[in-house]
Structures are given as structure tokens and as C-alpha cells.
Amino acid sequence: MILRHAAPALLGLSLISSPAQALDLSTMSDAEREQFGVQVREYLLENPEVIIEAINILEQRNAVAEASADKELVAANADELFNDGYSWVGGNPDGDITLVEFMDYRCGYCRRAVPEVASLLAEDGNIRLVIKEFPILGDASVLSSRFAVATKHVAGADAYKQVHDALMEFGGEPSEVSLRRISDGLGLDSDAIIAAMDSEQVTEEIGQTRALAQRMQISGTPSFVLGTEMLRGFLPADQMKQIADGVRAEQG
């Protein structure tokens, strides 16, 4: 049975994958097309692994296409990703490769990524880090991001990193009282920071990052750009290190 149906079934599969070289079903009679379909169906039912193989090939092709499209997005938005002039920069500022992180303070996976990113930077030593404030999980996220960005504008990059780290560890509901407690604990000018949270400058910075994320087709956090590669979601440090090494190898 398998041998009898193999030829027409494989012909049908070739029709799907390369129609220009396959049988033209339009030249068949209705009865011939019906019989052809029956034979293909019988073959696939007797050999379901063919379907799994086809699905795996399709997924591989889709993954390659998506990776290629992501590379194009990175190239088209490189200036804003890597050198927007306002996002906080850490790691090795002179590193040969840049890791950009789109994050939300209320995102559990963003919090899980904190030690992974720190481990990557410590192990590699030649990676520049750019943090993008991308609050997408409601008003509490927006409030926290406004507070962090306002801190950067009022007190500078070092103070921003302190607040950023504190917000990543903060387990309560953000409010003016709780945010003041954070900045007071760090010895910052809480009044000035709170006053700056609703400034046009803070609004514009967060808005520009949102617009960039939209162009990059980023809808979740954490999302990373590592060199030329888009990493959509949480990854442990060892996997990011492998990707970084691969990017360096591509760049020669």
C-alpha cells in the first residue's frame, strides 16, 4: 500500500513546494483529482511523520525569514537603537558590541534578566549596555519609568542607575510616597525629581522609545538587540554570550 501510494503522494507534496515543476491539477478531470486527493490522504495517514517533517521544515524557514527581517529592522533603526543621545549607557562604554534592552519595571522576566545581563557583562567585559524605558504593563509601569527618567534628568546617569536597580527590586505598588522613599533613601532631591516626572522632556523621551519599539515590532518585555541580532524575550547569560560571539564572528 505504501509503495503504491508513494509516487502520487510525493507528487502532491512537490506540487505544494514547487508548483512550477509539478503536475498541473487543472489538466485533470474531476474524477482524477478526487482519486489523486484520496491517494495523497492515504499516504499521509499511513506516514504521518511526513507531516511532522514538513512542519519542522516550515518552522525552520519561518525562523530564518524572521531573523532576516529582524536584522533589517536593526539596520534601519541602528542610530536610535545604539546612539539616541538620552538612554542610559553602561557596561563597557567602549565595547565592540552593544546590548540594547527594552524593559518594564513591572515585568517579571525583566527582573529575572537583571542578574543574567550582569553576568554577561562581567564575563564578557567588552559589551556596551543601553537601557530603553518601555513601560507597557499599565499605569504603574508608566509611573515607575517617569520617575526613573526624571531622576536621570535631575540627578544624572549614576543616580538613574541607582533608581533603576531599586525599582527592579521594589515589590510594592509605586506611588509618590513609595517613590519618594526610594529617592530619599538614595540621598536624592525627591522634590525636584517628583516635579520633573510630568515634564515634556520625560514624556517625549518615553514617547520616542515607544515609537522606536513600534517600528522594531516589539510588543513585549524584555526585548533585546545584541549587535545585529534581535532577541525577543528572556535569555540566560550563556545563550546571549553565544549570540554575541556569533555576531563578532560575522563582523570579522
Q: Over the stretch 176-233, which tens digit does the pLDDT of each residue have?
A: 999 999 999 999 999 999 999 999 999 999 999 999 999 999 999 999 999 999 999 9
Indicate if 45 and 122 belong to the same structural domain: no
Please tell me whether residue 211 adopts helix, strand or coil conformation. helix
Q: What is the distance between the alpha carbons of residues 148 and 68, in angstroms, rounded to a whole number?
A: 34
234: domain CATH number is: 3.40.30.10
Residue range 18-46, pLDDT digits in tens: 444 556 777 888 888 888 888 888 888 88
Indicate if 44 and 111 belong to the same structural domain: no
Q: Are 131 and 103 in contact (CB under 8 A)?
A: yes
Indicate if 142 and 22 belong to the same structural domain: no
Indicate if 61 and 10 belong to the same structural domain: yes
Burial (CB count <10 Å: 0-12, 13-18, 19+), residue 246: middle
Q: What is the pLDDT of residue 150?
A: 98
Neighbours of 101 (CB within 10 A): 21
Q: What is the pLDDT of residue 23?
A: 64
Indicate if 103 and 182 belong to the same structural domain: yes
Angle (CA) 76 72 226, round 5°: 90
- Please give the grid coordinates belonging to residue 139: 499605569
Q: Is the per-residue pLDDT at 1 higher than 80?
A: no
Q: What is the pLDDT of residue 174?
A: 95
Average pLDDT of the chain is 89
For the residues of 163-209, what is the DSSP string, one character each?
HHHHHHH--S---HHHHHHHHHHTT--HHHHHHHTT-HHHHHHHHHH
Segment among 40-49, 85-94, 224-233, 234-243 with least mean pLDDT: 40-49
Q: What percent of the chain has pLDDT over 70?
A: 89
Indicate if 19 and 103 belong to the same structural domain: no
Q: Buried b / exposed e across 22-50, counting CB within 10 Å, b at 16+? A: eeeeeeeeeeeeeebeebbebbbeeeeee
3-state secondary structure 43-71: HHHHCCHHHHHHHHHHHHHHHHHHHHHHH
Which of 26, 54, 75 delimits the end of a domain? 75
Indicate if 52 and 95 belong to the same structural domain: no
The count of domains in the chain is: 2
Indicate if 89 and 25 belong to the same structural domain: no
Indicate if 48 and 124 belong to the same structural domain: no
Higher-confidence residue of 60 and 161: namely 161
Domain that holds residue 226: 78-251
The side-by-side arrangement of strands in the sheet containing 229-232 is 88-91, 127-133, 97-103, 223-226, 229-232
Which of 12, 43, 75 delimits the end of a domain? 75
- Alpha-carbon torsion, ordered 33, 39, 44, 50, to 10 deg: -80
Indicate if 36 and 110 belong to the same structural domain: no
Indicate if 22 and 102 belong to the same structural domain: no
Indicate if 91 and 30 belong to the same structural domain: no
